[in-house]
Amino acid sequence: MIIQCPGCHARARIADSLEGARVSCGECGRVYVARATGRRSSASSRRLGLWFGLGAGVVALLAAVLMLVQGKGTKYAADAGPEKPVAAPSGVDPADYERSPIFQAAIGVHQAAALGQAITVQAAMYGPRVYAWKQTVASAAAAPAENEPAPPTAEARQALEAEFAALPSYRQQEILAGYAESMCQGEDRDIVGAWQPFDGSLVAYDQATGTARIRLTVSSREAGSTENRHVEWTLYEDRGRWKVTSWERWYSEAEKKATRKKRDKGYERVTLSDGSIVLERDPEPLEHLADTPPELRARIDQLIATMLDLELTKEATRARAQLVEIGRPAIPRLLTKLYEIPLDTEAQSIQVNQVDVALRAITGQDHGYRPMELVGSAVGTTKERRESAIRQWFAWWYRNEKTFVAAEKKDLLEELIPPTEKEKRGLERRDG
């Protein structure tokens, strides 16, 4: 079901079973009781009949990604729609995005791209306008940053459409096939194929040109992800059928604000899928501390290299112990390894674990990283938790770099309970 924060109006999708539970808004932090809005998103009510291509049949929506309130700086009802009512095309109900043909056209492209059906995606495009848009985007990307080109005029767009129309039919199909493939498994997959729509609004409609602009609210198809986004689509009514002409990531004012806030503070407050709230920061390579002497820098780098050599068992253990002794000066370079080492193989997961163990020993912090990914009843943790643990380390260092002092190692004798006066006299008599 879809719930909405009563404070900032940010929407998110959660499991129906959580209705009535107290949840925390990922946008403003307000705690409220989860109640379904007018639209529900259960599997039984969210299946859409989508007809694409010649005899393509019905494409069922993939299962919804269940999530706790995350927001991620995104508002839906509050700022995703237009400020004033928009005149809708014939047969389009802006309040019923699931059944209106204009929304079905864009939703169907998301679905077909997710399933890798490039031919279906290609059939959903209006070629001349997609080509004109893509050429305009490419020209803007190639222009120097200090000389950003002005938006193309209507005449320029028409010239590009005519250029496309003049191409041989096979060449037109090759170009459109490339665009479709990009949505299925290329650069545009992160805008289309990887995201599942669950809400939408009509932004603009121009009856004279037969074009409409809609905005879909989408959730990630990746298991464990809690992110929502907006994708804005432009469509053209071609002989009674709506076809897509452009697709772009759209950022709400709340998302822009959250991005600025993250950039200013360096970290963000994140709600994981299990409901836990953590601070995260994007990993990045870090230099040695400014006050670390050159010889110590070289020693730290060499010890880290030895520790990460999985063939040097005893030497790696000794190297880790020496890094723990060095303490604070070793932290930035250890964190850098968390940034540099991917989690693609078991060996890499073990290397990251070596770094995590050293950091835990130095700092006394534990952000939940475990080398094995949880599968069934085996020991381990989720992919979300492992990746979050790395980001939590960077958030922790960003907040504590200037004030952190490694705990001094105490003599074990100091940990003993001091003797009483009676015990002291007994010891004196024994020693005397």
- Structure tokens, 115: 């399933």
The mean per-residue pLDDT over the stretch 389-401 comes to: 90
pLDDT of 343 > 60? The answer is yes
Residue 238: predicted pLDDT: 92
Residue 290: predicted pLDDT: 87
Could you tell me if 328 and 305 are in contact, meaning their C-beta atoms sit under 8 angstroms apart? no
pLDDT of 59 > 50? The answer is no
Residue 377: predicted pLDDT: 46
Residue 81: predicted pLDDT: 41
Residue 125: predicted pLDDT: 97
Looking at residue 330, the DSSP 8-state letter turns out to be G
Per-residue pLDDT tens digits for 273-306: 877 888 898 898 999 998 899 899 999 999 999 9
Per-residue pLDDT tens digits for 167-196: 999 999 999 999 999 999 998 999 999 999
Per-residue pLDDT tens digits for 355-370: 999 999 999 899 888 8
Residue carrying the six token digits 């059928």: 241
pLDDT band at 252 (very low <50, low <70, confident <90, very high): confident
Phi-psi region at 353: left, alpha or beta (left = phi > 0; alpha = psi -120 to 50): alpha
**First and final CA of the chain: distance in angstroms?**
81
Per-residue pLDDT tens digits for 107-133: 999 999 999 999 999 999 999 999 999
Residue carrying the six token digits 């409901």: 275
Per-residue pLDDT tens digits for 227-241: 788 999 999 999 989
Mean pLDDT of the residues in the chain = 77
The mean per-residue pLDDT over the stretch 317-323 comes to: 94
* 86 vs 276, residue with greater confidence: 276
The reply to whether the predicted model has a pTM over 0.85 is no
Phi, psi for residue 55 in degrees, rounded to 5: 65, 30
Residue 12: predicted pLDDT: 72
Residue 272: predicted pLDDT: 82
Nearest to 31 by CA among 69, 67, 1, 2: 69
Percent of the chain with pLDDT over 70: 69
Residue carrying the six token digits 């000389």: 147
Distance of CA 321 to the CA centre of its chain: 36
Residue 22: predicted pLDDT: 66
> What is d(CA 383, CA 370) in angstroms, rounded to the nearest whole number?
10
Residue 327: predicted pLDDT: 92
pLDDT of 207 > 60? The answer is yes
Residue 41: predicted pLDDT: 41
* 422 vs 90, residue with greater confidence: 90
